[in-house]
Amino acid sequence: MKIGIVGCAGRMGQMLVREIAATAGCTLAGGTERTGGPALGKDLGLLAGIDPLGVAAIDDPVALFAQSDAVIDFTSPDATELHAALAAQSETVLVVGTTGLNPSQQAAVATAATHTAIVQSPNMSLGVNLLLALVEQVAHTLGDDFDIDILEMHHRRKVDAPSGTALGLGRAAAAGRGVALEDVWQKVRDGHTGARPAGEIGFATLRGGDVIGDHTVMFAGDGERIELTHKASGRQIYAKGAVRAALWAQDKTPGLYTMRNVLGV
């Protein structure tokens, strides 16, 4: 399978280059960077700190999609909207790890998925996706007798809050209770908030240092508390999951899939 990378010179892009090069069953189709960027024309293997791969960074995403069986996207919401349209036009598999999409951008991804297979997840790691399944099950079992709060921490450079993974965990909890997250979430508590409403799902966000990603879902009842936690110690877990998703999707019909589909959980 020929896999392309948009944003190939960034931290995630370099990890994806290394992961594709080391994974049986796939080859690197190419990679894009912004026009005028210093990585243009350079070998992607050298950019990623490995042996040359004979593939240079370009600034033409149309060409990348045309020459790829799948493209992996960990960029920005605006760029992901464009890439979804290109995937639909070329019927190329798209793996989306970008977070922070607004409703219009998410709708564009869903529309593109009517023409090609798209795997989208706020977090590509195996552990987090198992956690999503557990959170949904626990929320369903415990019901409204337990209050749910989601605590997340990331490095100081992260630009969106709560994190996409935290929101994904919130949606899993809401699904377990049979409600829409938007109807019950509380993203910020400040000042005199009054008593907590029944069924509310709260979020707390921390930013600092070089933390890759810590997430805890707390179920607090009278006299007891359950905490489910995932801590990432390396970003390569996201690259591994994204490449696995691309390989899984190569023979799938058009549709919007998640990592839970990929992992069968």
Q: Which residues are catalytic?
A: 154, 158
> Structure tokens of 23?
């994974």
99 in a known ligand binding site: yes
- Sheet hosting strand 70-73, strand order edge to edge: 57-58, 27-32, 2-6, 70-73, 93-96, 117-120, 255-257
Q: Are 229 and 216 in contact (CB under 8 A)?
A: yes
> Structure tokens of 142?
């415990």
> Structure tokens of 181?
């997250």
23 in a known ligand binding site: no
How is residue 150 annotated by DSSP? Answer: E
9 in a known ligand binding site: yes
Give Cβ neighbours of residue 159 (< 8 Å, ≥ 6 apart).
Answer: 100
155 in a known ligand binding site: yes
208 in a known ligand binding site: no
216 in a known ligand binding site: no
235 in a known ligand binding site: no
26 in a known ligand binding site: no
11 in a known ligand binding site: yes
Burial class (CB in 10 A: 0-12, 13-18, 19+), 159: exposed
Binding residues for NAD(+), as ranges, are 7-12, 51, 97-99, 121-124
Binding residues, as ranges, are 7-12, 51, 97-99, 121-124, 155, 164-165
Binding residues for (S)-2,3,4,5-tetrahydrodipicolinate, as ranges, are 155, 164-165
